Amino acid sequence: MKSKFTLLVIMLFAGILSIQAQQGGQKRTVEERVKLAVVRMNDSLKLSTVQLADVEIALSDYYKGQDKIREALAPGARPERADVEKLGDIRDAKIKVFLTEPQYNRYIEMQNAIRKRANGQRPGGQ
């Protein structure tokens, strides 16, 4: 009887952990997302100190815009593709101003690779 109760407690605990793992985890703040993106970009593009500051500003605006769009949605709803693309276009235009042409071309390659990878991970092949 004691072993059955122990088994039941273990199964309940495992069930709770699996449910929490499926809920998307912890959301990163704008500052954390900017920092991660800047590190990735700097590794590939070898940005100057001035460029790093400008990229941080552009990415911060972009991520704040993303958050604003998501806040206006109902839970579980997806944002309009046009709104997300508009934000991305604004971000890219800002970034293009302070990158050299070879750096910007590499940046676009990186963005296309990210999009390609993200499209391959969507459930149902969408």
Considering only CA atoms, give the Rg of the chain. Answer: 20
Mean pLDDT of the chain: 84
pLDDT digits (tens, 9 = 90+) for 84-95: 999 999 999 999
User: Is the predicted pLDDT of residue 24 greater than 60, yes or no?
Assistant: no
Higher pLDDT, 3 or 67: 67
Q: Which range among 34-48, 67-81, 112-126 has the greatest average pLDDT?
A: 34-48
Non-local (6+) Cβ contacts of 37 within 8 A are 59
Higher pLDDT, 5 or 72: 72
User: Is the predicted pLDDT of residue 6 greater than 80, yes or no?
Assistant: no
pLDDT digits (tens, 9 = 90+) for 37-60: 999 999 999 999 999 999 999 999
- What's the pLDDT at 12? 60
Core vs surface per residue 82-102: b (16+ CB within 10 A) or e: eeeeebeeebeebbeebbeee
Overall pTM > 0.85: no
User: Is the predicted pLDDT of residue 76 greater than 70, yes or no?
Assistant: yes
